[in-house]
A = this chain, B = another copy of it.
Amino acid sequence: MAAQSKIPQATAKRLPLYYRFLNNLHLQGKTRVSSKELSEAVKVDSATIRRDFSYFGALGKKGYGYNVEYLLGFFRKTLDQDETTNVALIGVGNLGTAFLHYNFTKNNNTKIEMAFDADTSKIGETIGGVTVYHIDEMEDRLKNVQAVILTVPGSVAQPIAERIVKCGITGILNFTPARITVPDSVRVHHIDLAVELQSLVYFMKHYPNAL
């Protein structure tokens, strides 16, 4: 799909958001949606939505809006909804436990298959339907896993990251305060709670009333 490689990263980041909302509309029996409705629901301004959608070849009609089913079909293909990605979670503390209770499969084909922790008292437990294994079993068990959610203490994030990269993991959702260094072939998305909070405060002060 040559067209996809032309989608700007900022647009690509909003795809899962659009998909999720349109899927909900579809489940409610809605057949069309205006960019204004979309804008209010996903909190992205409608000019940006129209530009994003033009990259997908979807052009809304005045007074009609967008066809929900067409868009969903396009997004499903684009987001590879039919192919499940196996995910492991490493670090079953409070944050890790919150992730295990989160029902990821409800809206997409991403599934947490297993969890790991160093605390032997947690080994063998099932949380949110996911079994917790000892962290030293990672090398044996990560064979069919592509992505990892990292919720270990920041102090061990780097050595754990190096171990999982050796297991062939190509994507890491890093929820630790530590930034990790991995080969370029591994995609890392970092969500740092302190940075998110500081960023909110900065925008509150400097960009009030902005979308």
Contact = CB atoms under 8 A, between A and B. Distances in A.
A12 B94 contact: no
Determine how many copies of this chain the complex contains.
Answer: 2
A185 interface: yes
A4 B172 CA distance: 34
B17 A102 contact: no
B196 A191 contact: yes
Given A40-B181, A171-B201, A99 B16 contact: no
A33 interface: no
Closest 7 CB pairs of A and B: A94-B98, A95-B98, A16-B198, A171-B204, A94-B97, A94-B94, A189-B200
Given A12-B203, A98-B98, A185-B209, 11 more contacts: A9-B203, A13-B199, A16-B199, A43-B190, A80-B202, A94-B95, A102-B177, A104-B197, A147-B204, A149-B197, A171-B201
